[in-house]
Amino acid sequence: MTESTEQKLTILTIDDNLYTLDILQHALEKANFNTVAASSGEKGLSLIMEYGLPHLAVVDLNMPPGMSGFQFCRKVHQFSDLPVIMLTAIDEESTIVTGLESHAEDYVTKPFNPGELVARIRRVLRRMGEFTFEYAPVTKVDDSLSVNFAKRRAIICGESVSLTPTETKLLYILMRSTGQTVTTEFIIRRIWPHEPVFEDRLHVHMHRLRRKLEARDELQYILSERGQGYAFHVGLGDPEAS
């Protein structure tokens, strides 16, 4: 794992306007981000499949005739909790509300100020946590565990294990804040934003995820913090620690 202070964070930009993509690339690289650009939602998903999840995506809302920004978000959120900032010329209140409630962390209308957008990106990353593992299609946690989020699979001691969409998102959320406790309230809000969910439901999914990742006695990655939430750790080996 690479420390967040030593790595450049990667931002995926998706827009069908190549001029907008050039502006985004220049502003983000000037701010010391790595950039990956796509001219459609479909191409954005293909890049994720090929290279792995970025740390954040800036996504145009309307990209005719293909996948819209909302559709892209629905697809990518089937296997991650990738932070998204919507960038669009549409400024209708209902559209903005839908974007913020269901798909995105922030909403920026065109024309936009590149410096302000960079500031918004930094604010979202600070709030959500920086995924500090290497940007790759298969994320290596340690010698025993790797994760392919896009394909919803964990590789545990060389054995491939299938993860459900909920388990994959849970793992992503915890790994995004490795070493820190993520509150139960925050996790529930991210996984089930529009459903009244009790903690017992989260506990069931977390138990199943832990059973898959920690099938061997010497492995332990997820700790329960009683009354608070859960924390993902690397290098733990004492099952009694939880």
Q: Note the pLDDT tens digit of each residue in 134-164.
A: 878 999 999 999 999 999 999 999 999 999 9
| pLDDT score at 134 | 81
d(CA 172, CA 181): 14
CATH code of the domain occupying 10-128 = 3.40.50.2300
d(CA 232, CA 242): 11
The correct answer on CATH 1.10.10.10 for the domain covering 139-241 is: yes
C-alpha torsion angle, residues 22, 103, 8, 156 (rounded to 10): -130
CA-angle at 153, arms to 150 and 155, nearest 5°: 130
Residue 93's pLDDT band, with cuts at 50, 70 and 90, is low
Domain with CATH 3.40.50.2300 in the chain: 10-128
Across the strands, what pairs with 35? 11
**Contacts of 83 by beta carbon, 8 Å cutoff, 6+ apart:** 55, 56, 57, 105, 124, 125, 128
- Judged against a pLDDT cut of 80, whether residue 242 lies above it is answered with no
Percent residues over pLDDT 90 in the chain: 62
| pLDDT score at 101 | 66
Domain with CATH 1.10.10.10 in the chain: 139-241
CA-angle at 111, arms to 110 and 113, nearest 5°: 110
- Judged against a pLDDT cut of 90, whether residue 2 lies above it is answered with no
